[in-house]
Amino acid sequence: MRIASYNIQNLFFRDEALFGTGHSKNFMDWLDEFEAILRKGLRLNEDYRRLRELSFLMGLSKEHPQKYLVLRNHGGILHGKIVASPRTLEKDFKAGHSWIKMTSQMIPRESVIHKARVISEINPDVLLLQEVEDRASLISFRDKYLADFNYRDCYYFEGNSNQGLGFGILLRKGYSLSVCRSYCNKEDSEGKPLFDTGLQILWLRDPKDQLFRILQTNLSGLGKGEKADQKRRNQLGFISKVWEEQLEMFHDLLICCGSLGRPSFCESLSELMTKKEIRNILKSGCLKADRDYGKASSYFSLGAYQKGINLRETQYFLYNNTPSAELLSCGLNRRGIWSGRTHNWYCYPDINSEKAQAGMHPLLWADFLLTPGNK
């Protein structure tokens, strides 16, 4: 049985706030002022002059348009068109049309192909995906790019994020999901959601009806400072509690995977990582991964997965030490990640920039042998 976990960073569309703007503070201030003027109910001539000045300062052009969706009402039916020119946008405002700012960007097709290529190369029986925008995209991705891999069952869990950072699961024929519990409504001491994205416990069965369980979460995206660190400690403390509760029920295979956003030596991860029954596939002797043959190949970067695997350790694949399951092999696939100019690991030949890469995260996988009779 092969299980894979992959932070896929969305399939077809990604919230533009997650890309990072790359703009200066002045640019963002000008943009805020530009949009504040557009929101005015009554605009004077000096407002339009200021809009033209801000457009010039921001360098709005065909290469870097500020996209809007302009809506027109024709016979009670809304019709829309995408507008990138500030002058065109001004004309639409004078005409009294409503507008909606576009909040997502299309992921390049070559990037989507590389995501599918990473998955197909590993060919897992159970595929766990983090940062999936919606169920329709997941089904479309399965049917168009993974049609030959016999993934029958498809599940999607929304989570707490409004930026399309849900969870997806694809199961090969013979595997089934019997129980699912979500902790998206778990609150912190202030009455706010404890998890920004979500946390699920999944009870699954293999073709021989043997039970195994997966705890899937995503803690990435938290800010910096003591308040953010404390929230992370609270999250990991709750995950640790859920882990213990699950082990008290059964002693079968229990897996914890997803994006934890910090290296294993981080204080907030200590409560979970120091449990004596927890094993990390990244520390196992059978880990398979393409090495880095660049200038830093012999250097052990702080926070990296391993020496020679100089990627920041944010994705995890943990499992419990139990006689009901044996780890046969495991690995890390980063062939969909552009190695850049300072590193030199194998990536697909047509990946020559970050834009074309599958994403920033590797796919983690593990092969387990379940003991018969594990019900």
Closest CA to 200 of 185, 215, 211: 215
Q: How many CB atoms sit inside 10 A of residue 231's CB?
A: 22
Q: How many CA atoms lie within 13 A of 20 on its CB side?
A: 2
Residue 208, domain extent: 2-13+108-370
In a domain, 126, yes or no: yes
**203 in a domain, yes or no?**
yes
How far apart CA 44 and CA 51 sit, in angstroms, is 11
User: By the 8 A CB rule, do 15 and 161 touch?
Assistant: no
Residue 62 in any domain: the answer is: no
> pLDDT 10s per residue in the chain (375 long)?
999 999 999 999 888 777 654 455 666 677 778 878 877 878 888 888 888 888 777 766 444 555 666 666 555 566 666 666 656 666 655 565 665 666 777 888 999 999 999 999 999 999 999 999 999 999 999 999 999 999 999 999 987 877 788 899 999 999 999 999 988 888 888 888 888 888 899 999 999 999 999 999 888 666 677 787 888 888 888 999 999 999 998 889 999 999 887 777 777 787 788 888 889 888 888 888 888 887 766 666 666 777 777 777 888 999 998 988 999 999 999 999 988 777 788 899 999 888 889 998 999 999 999 987 555
Q: What is the CATH number of the domain that holds 246?
A: 3.60.10.10
Tally of structural domains, the chain: 1
The DSSP secondary structure of 311-358, one letter per residue, reads EE--EEEEEE--TTEEEEEEEEE-TTS--TTT------TT--STTTSS
Q: Give a yes or no: residue 375 inside a domain.
A: no
Q: Please give the helix or strand (H or E) that residue 246 lies within, else none.
A: helix 226-249
Residue 99 lies in a domain: no
Contact (CB, 8 A) for 132 and 97: no
Q: Is residue 44 part of a domain?
A: no
Residue whose pair of structure tokens reads 């990473």 in the numeric block = 118
Domain-embedded: residue 72: no
Helix (H, G, I), strand (E, B) or coil at 26: helix
The single-letter DSSP state of residue 42 is S
Residue 119 falls within a domain, yes or no?
Answer: yes
Classify strands 166-172 and 176-182 as parallel, antiparallel or unpaired: unpaired
Q: Report d(CA 310, CA 102) in Å as an integer.
A: 36
What tokens were used for 261?
């956003």
One-letter amino acid for residue 40 of the chain: K
Contact 167, 129 (CB under 8 A): yes
